Amino acid sequence: MVTQRTFVMIKPDGVKRKLVGEIISRIERKGLNIVAMKMVQISRERAEELYAEHKGKSFFPELISYITSGQVVCMVVEGDEAVAVMRKMIGATDPKEASPGTIRGDFALSKGENVIHASDSEEKARREMSIFFREEEILELKA
C-alpha cells in the first residue's frame, strides 16, 4: 500500500453546475480522504503558474480565461495510489473518449470545459498543491 497525496480541482463549470457534492461523494466512496479543501477564485497569475506547461500553446489563452471565469474547489486527496486512482476516476480529457462511470464521462460537456482536474504525477501533485495550499493547511487525518 502506497499512501499518496494528489491535487484535485473542480473547475468553474463543475461548480456552476452544482456538481461539487456529487464529485466529493465519489471521491469519498472510493475510499480516498480529503485532507484539505477550499473554494477560490483563481487569479490570472496563479492560473498561469498552474498551467505553465501549456504556455505558448494555441489553447493557453482560452484555458486561462476559462479557469479564471468562476470559483473552483481545490482539494488535497490522500489514499492508496491516490494519483493513479484519481486519474482513473476522472476519465479522459475529451468527454467523448471518457468512459461512462468516470466523472468526465458522466458530467463533462466539452474538452474545454471538462469539470475536473487531477494531477497526473506525484511531482506535479506536489507542485500544484503548493500553488493553492500552505503545508499547515493540509491536515493529518485522525483515525
The string over 80-112, giving b where at least 16 C-beta atoms fall within 10 Å of a residue's C-beta and e elsewhere, is eebbbbbbebbbbeebeebeeebbbbbbbeeee
Q: How far apart are alpha carbons 112 and 8 in whole angstroms? A: 17
Q: How far apart are alpha carbons 78 and 71 in whole angstroms? A: 23
Q: Which of 77, 117, 118, 133 does the annotation list as catalytic?
A: 117
Q: Please enumerate, by residue number, every residue annotated as part of a binding site.
A: 11, 59, 87, 93, 104, 114
Catalytic status, residue 117? yes
Nearest to 6 by CA among 114, 86, 92: 86
Q: Please enumerate, by residue number, every residue annotated as part of a binding site for ATP.
A: 11, 59, 87, 93, 104, 114
Positions marked catalytic: 117
